[in-house]
Amino acid sequence: MGQAQLEATNAGIPHTAIQCEHRGSVARRMQCVHCKGITEDVEVDPFICSHCGLNLFVRDHYSRRIAAYQGVCIDAEDPGNVPPSKGIYE
């Protein structure tokens, strides 16, 4: 939905004029803030960035422009200490 919305807003439609109705998977499109790579269909938190391999935690912070949520390194302050993954909405 986010990517479709982005096409519409780039063409000139204000995002508030676009009605979205969510169906199906609640998996998130995630952007790794460190390498900027996108990891699709993320359902667990934390997860591994599919580009740079860092362990990332799932933030609720969302960018319409990138059509993705933000992922940030979870074990920067204690490398290797990564909690077991749970579903994002658990």
Count of Cβ atoms closer than 10 Å to residue 47 Cβ: 21
Distance CA 38, CA 69 (A): 9
Q: Which is nearer to another protein, 24 or 78 (CB)?
A: 78
Site residues, another protein (CB under 8 A): 11-14, 16-17, 31, 33-34, 36, 54, 59-66, 70, 72-73, 76-79
Report in angstroms how near the CB of residue 65 gets to another protein at its nearest.
4
Q: Which is nearer to another protein, 29 or 62 (CB)?
A: 62
Distance CA 67, CA 31 (A): 9
